[in-house]
């Protein structure tokens, strides 16, 4: 059995396309790009039951034919009504999106696995952590 029906895939594709739209300015695809979306759908297939319930909510709201502004409002509502599923969906969408070679190149990053070579990260301003270090202890000592 397929994880999602064609209608559910269409709704999911529209949803992720609104989460990360394509950008001509940066020459990057959106999350609804066929290659990226295929990976998203495959990854989310394991959570298809809760996600199907969320997609049914979108479908019942007439999202398939709604304007982008209406869809954005529905997405905001989903963060309240389906918080766990939306959290998982956002995580998967971001992970799949930033694994795409085109997106990595747009960030001036070599499209490869981060290990074993790693990536150089510019040192930041460690003094930004001073307010955190100055806070009182938030834990109790173990017996």
121 assigned to some structural domain: no
Question: Domain tally for the chain?
Answer: 1
Q: ∠ at Cα 19 (15, 4), nearest 5°?
A: 30
24 assigned to some structural domain: yes
139 assigned to some structural domain: no
pLDDT digits (tens, 9 = 90+) for 90-109: 999 999 999 999 999 999 98
The boundaries of the domain holding residue 25 are 6-112
Handedness of CA 26, 28, 31, 33 (dihedral sign): positive
Specify the pLDDT at position 63.
63
d(CA 44, CA 4): 10
Query: pLDDT over 90 for what percent of the chain?
Result: 50
**What's the pTM?**
0.75
pLDDT reading at 1 higher than 60: no
């Amino acid at each position: 059995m397929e994880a999602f029906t064609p209608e559910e895939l269409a709704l999911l594709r529209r949803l992720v396309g609104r989460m990360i739209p394509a950008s001509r300015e940066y020459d990057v695809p959106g999350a609804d790009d066929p290659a990226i979306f295929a990976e998203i759908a495959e990854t989310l297939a394991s959570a298809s039951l809760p996600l199907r319930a969320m997609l049914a909510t979108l479908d019942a709201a007439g999202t398939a034919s709604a304007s982008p502004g209406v869809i954005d409002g529905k997405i905001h509502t989903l963060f309240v009504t389906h918080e766990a599923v939306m959290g998982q969906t956002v995580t998967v969408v971001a992970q799949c999106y930033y694994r795409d070679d085109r997106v990595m190149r747009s960030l001036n990053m070599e499209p490869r696995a981060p290990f074993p070579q790693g990536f150089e990260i510019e040192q930041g301003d460690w003094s930004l952590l001073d307010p955190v270090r100055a806070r009182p202890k938030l834990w109790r000592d173990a017996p």
